[in-house]
Structure 1
Amino acid sequence: MDYVLVHGTTQSPRGWDRLAAALDARGHRAVPVDLLAGGADLDAEEYADLVAGQVAAATAEGPDGGDGGADGPAVVVHSGAGALAAAVAARLEASRVVWLAAFVPDTVGGRSLLDEMQVSAAQMFNTEWTQLAAPPTEDPVTAGYFLFHDGDLATLRWGLESVRLFQPARVFAQKPRPLPESAESTYLLPMRDRTLRPHWMRATAEVRLGVKAVEVDAGHCPHVSAPEEVAGIIAG
């Protein structure tokens, strides 16, 4: 199967390298995409077109991914990229969406991410995260504390090399669209997350996606600290 890996707001595509290797070892094809390749001021549909172009180029150059071919790819979204999940899944005709410590849009109430944050930030995010004066990508100590605190020293150093800021303001202000009915959801919930609150992620997975979250003993970037475990869950 093909796994399209969509990075969040604090990492570049390099942050997927460990998970991509684990998926490849299982006979799948991982396709990391770069959302900044088209600029940082696109809407969700424009980012979906950008992703589709990168996926088409990557899959044209390499062999087919495992037993994939008949079904659409799986789209893996991390963190804030959850706001793009529906648009990307629809554009790629995805068979599955994997939400990795990801924001799940409020398709029930029709609120954008910014609208929801105005009234529910305390329920959604760790207090320390909301009190940051600057993006965590500007300081390696801050990035390490929030993103890579659950790994060893080598993992911390590796993770810091993947840090990069991505702020899709137009996407975060957009009203959410529903997921395609054909796309199933899997939600991976890292129980030691220091950004999104685990209890909020669990509740939104159940209410907005209709699934029970799969819990992992990790921080906000389990694809960095526990790639084999994540690959085993999403490809199992």
Structure 2
Amino acid sequence: MTIDKSQIRNAATVIVLRDRHTSPRILMGQRGAKAVFMPNKFVFPGGAVDADDADIPLIAPLPDTCARRLAEDAGRNLAHALCVAAIRELWEETGLILGQQGQWVDPVPDDWTTFAATGHLPDAAALQFVFRAITPPGRPRRFDARFFLVDADAIASDLDDFDAACDELSHLQWVSLAQARAFDMPFITEVVLAEVEARAHDPNPPTSVPFFKNNDEESLFLRLRGDQSAPFNTAKDARD
């Protein structure tokens, strides 16, 4: 499939927070020097949503509060694919498993064969939607990125074992929040980091989600709160 490099692609990024109540640390890695998008920068694991992500079953869906906010200014059916992309990218780039033990019933898509071989099914219940940002115009790649925070206690694998990771990120490491700003990060990563610092000791989803909406016409800072009045069933909507 040919990708139009000028289009804005939906993407998911995962911030894994470890030891949040004692000495909070986050998982980061460095992009390659030859990467087209943000070369050499330290980032959180993440990437674009794939076409197959909407069809991957989740053993447990994203909580409704976060799903509503994902649907705001986006479309409610996208929430499932974004969660699947977040779990897939976390596995591919770090080798960490966000899932529960279980057997795959249907034929396993190529992107999920190694994950399925661990004996786990993807689980979105621990993900919290905390930030959204659209890459400004003029960049070589543009993404509508949703940032998910997850407590490291929800990870089913060894937190220090990155052997299954691909080579997209190097120097994978747990970085203390106090030291993270010393790393060479993209501007938006620094902004998200401030949001994580403010939420480090609070296990509940935020009351609203910041959204940097960079269109070709204007740049806006919005707050996503979700429509709490309308019925919303994450599992059903993912199948619609």
Task: Report if TM-score (shorter chain) is over 0.5.
Answer: no
TM-score by length of 1: 0.31
TM-score by length of 2: 0.30
More strand by share: 2
